[in-house]
């Protein structure tokens, strides 16, 4: 009898593959939605674990992928990662499947902005909810987007884990010299602008080092000190530039042991993440 019960339970779980089971056995639907704002379309994943009409929202952005066929998987994974460290289990999470293929690095800021402005202005009507607070969070290249968004639009706060790429001049120059493996990011920039030597400014203007002023909301940066050398090469410069900013809201830096995914692996970083959200 027990074997029959387990088989039935397994079949039921397969039938409900599109749903997420939370610890209290509540079935939470993860909705995929293509939204549009200012004639820009982008796909988002939405998970709302509460029946409350008024919700706070965490808008999250994934890191680098090699092709757009991978962005839905990356968006799902990023939603799961932030959900796993978020103490507020009634917070809606929206994960943005921002494109990266066949565009110059940084041009997907258009899709990132569309997602944020849709959440600010249209989500209430489209989803039948009342959005109260909005927090941005990103990992790696996702931090590139949330940091740039923080120079464009105010929110209730921004969380940034392992921001990058910080310095496209340095990274792409290493690739040009054959010191590190070539990437599609630098290849596309080179095809458009030439080499870093010939067109330094074009590379720098797309680097995160160029977006260290005018933050409109408080921001928490988390950086693992055992991250890749290419990341750590520019980290202190990036940190100092932001610390020197006179047109920024408050910036907080958490430097901890760990690698590129330190926020999700380190208990102290997780605590700072939740403290940041809960205090705003």
What pLDDT is stored for residue 24 in this prediction?
A: 37
Mean pLDDT (the chain, rounded) = 91
Alpha-carbon distance of 93 to 203, in angstroms, equals: 33
User: What is the average per-residue pLDDT within 120-125?
Assistant: 97
User: 260-269, pLDDT tens digit by residue?
Assistant: 999 999 999 9
> Cα–Cα distances in Å, from 43 out to 8, 33, 69?
34, 6, 13
Selection from 50, 45, 88, 81 nearest residue 63 by Cα: 81
Are 22 and 54 in contact, with CB atoms under 8 Å apart?
no
Token pair belonging to 217: 């909301």
Q: Give the number of C-alpha atoms closer than 13 A to the C-alpha of residue 251, restricted to the C-beta side.
A: 23
Are 40 and 158 in contact, with CB atoms under 8 Å apart?
no
User: What is the average per-residue pLDDT within 123-129?
Assistant: 96
User: 196-237, pLDDT tens digit by residue?
Assistant: 999 999 999 999 999 999 999 999 999 999 999 999 999 999
Alpha-carbon distance of 122 to 41, in angstroms, equals: 13
Q: Which residues contact 178 (CB under 8 A, 6 or more apart)?
A: none
pLDDT-above-90 percentage for the chain: 89
> Cα–Cα distances in Å, from 152 out to 76, 116, 117, 217, 250?
26, 11, 11, 10, 16
What pLDDT is stored for residue 131 in this prediction?
A: 98
pLDDT band at 1 (very low <50, low <70, confident <90, very high): very low
pLDDT-above-70 percentage for the chain: 90
What pLDDT is stored for residue 9 in this prediction?
A: 38
Phi, psi for residue 27 in degrees, rounded to 5: -85, 120
Report which of residues 156 and 21 the model is more confident about. Answer: 156
State yes or no: pLDDT of 180 exceeds 90.
Answer: yes
Selection from 175, 180, 146 nearest residue 160 by Cα: 146
State yes or no: pLDDT of 239 exceeds 70.
Answer: yes
User: What is the average per-residue pLDDT within 66-94?
Assistant: 97
49 in the Ramachandran plot: left (φ > 0), alpha (ψ -120 to 50) or beta? alpha
State yes or no: pLDDT of 7 exceeds 90.
Answer: no
Are 210 and 242 in contact, with CB atoms under 8 Å apart?
no
User: 137-165, pLDDT tens digit by residue?
Assistant: 999 999 999 999 999 999 999 999 999 99
The CATH number given to 30-167+207-278 is 3.40.50.1820
């Amino acid at each position: 009898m027990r074997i029959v019960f387990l088989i039935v339970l397994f079949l039921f779980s397969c039938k409900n593959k599109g749903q997420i089971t939370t610890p209290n056995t509540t079935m939470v639907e993860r909705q995929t939605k293509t939204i549009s704002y200012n004639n820009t379309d982008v796909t988002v994943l939405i998970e709302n674990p509460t029946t409350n009409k008024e919700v706070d929202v965490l808008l999250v952005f994934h890191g680098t992928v090699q092709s757009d066929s991978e962005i839905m998987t990356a968006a799902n994974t990023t939603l799961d990662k932030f959900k796993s460290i978020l103490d507020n289990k009634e917070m809606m999470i929206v994960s943005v499947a921002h494109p990266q293929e066949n565009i110059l690095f940084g041009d997907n800021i258009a899709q990132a902005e569309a997602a944020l402005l849709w959440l600010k202005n249209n989500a209430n009507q489209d989803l039948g909810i009342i959005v109260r607070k909005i927090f941005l969070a990103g990992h790696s290249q996702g931090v590139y987007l949330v940091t740039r968004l923080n120079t464009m639009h105010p929110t209730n706060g921004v969380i940034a884990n392992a921001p990058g790429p910080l310095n496209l001049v340095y990274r792409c120059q290493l690739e040009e010299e054959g010191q590190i493996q070539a990437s599609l990011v630098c290849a596309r920039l080179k095809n458009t602008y030439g080499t870093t030597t010939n067109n330094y400014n074009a590379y720098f203007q797309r680097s995160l080092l160029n977006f260290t002023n005018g933050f409109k909301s408080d921001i928490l940066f988390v950086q693992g000190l055992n991250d890749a050398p290419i990341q750590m090469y520019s980290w202190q410069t990036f940190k100092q530039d932001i610390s020197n900013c006179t047109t920024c809201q408050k910036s907080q830096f958490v430097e901890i042991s760990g690698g590129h995914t330190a926020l999700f692996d380190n208990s102290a970083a997780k605590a700072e993440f939740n403290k940041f959200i809960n205090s705003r």
